[in-house]
Amino acid sequence: MPNKSILIVEDEAGPRESLRMILKPFYRIYAVPDGEQALRIIQDQNIDVVTLDLNMPGLTGLEVLKEIKKMKPAMEVVIITALATMPNAQKAIQYGASDFLSKPFHVSEVITVIKKSLERLDAKAANRAP
C-alpha cells in the first residue's frame, strides 16, 4: 500500500479521473468534486499533497487554499486549472500554493510536480525533527 496520500479536488469528472489514474499506482488517492468535501477529508485523513482546481462551484479553489493553509500550514497544495493566468498564479502562490499547472496537463508534469511537493514535505519534516 502506498504510504503517501494525495487529495484531488476537481469538479469535472474527466480531469479528476485522469489525475486519479495517473497517481493511483504510486499513492493512496482521495478524489472529491468540491471544496467542502475536501476540507472534511483534510480534517479526517492524513493527506500529504492536495491538487486543487480554481474554478469550482461553491467554494472557489482560492477559498479552499486559504482554509487548507489555516488548518495545516505545511500542507503542499498544487493548483491544476484551466484558468492559468498570471494573476491567478500569483494569487495562488501568495496564498501558499506550492506549484501551479495548467490544463490540459501532461502525465509527466503531474508526476514530477507531485514528487517535488513530497520532497519539500519530507524536507520540512526533517528540519522539524530533533
52: part of which helix (H) or strand (E)? strand 49-52
pLDDT for res 106: 94
Is residue 1 scored above 60 in pLDDT? no
- As given in the structure block, the three cell numbers for residue 66 are 486559504
Strand order in the sheet with 5-9: 28-32, 5-9, 49-52, 76-81, 99-102
Helix axes 86-94, 61-71, angle to 10 degrees: 20
Fold classification of 5-128 is Rossmann fold (3.40.50)
- Higher confidence at residue 85 or residue 130? 85
- Domain ranges in the chain are 5-128
Its sign, for the CA torsion 112, 122, 127, 38, is: positive
pTM, full prediction? 0.94
State the pLDDT at residue 22: 96
- pLDDT surpassing 70 at residue 130: no
What is the chain's mean pLDDT, rounded? 93
Taken as a whole, the chain contains a residue count of 130
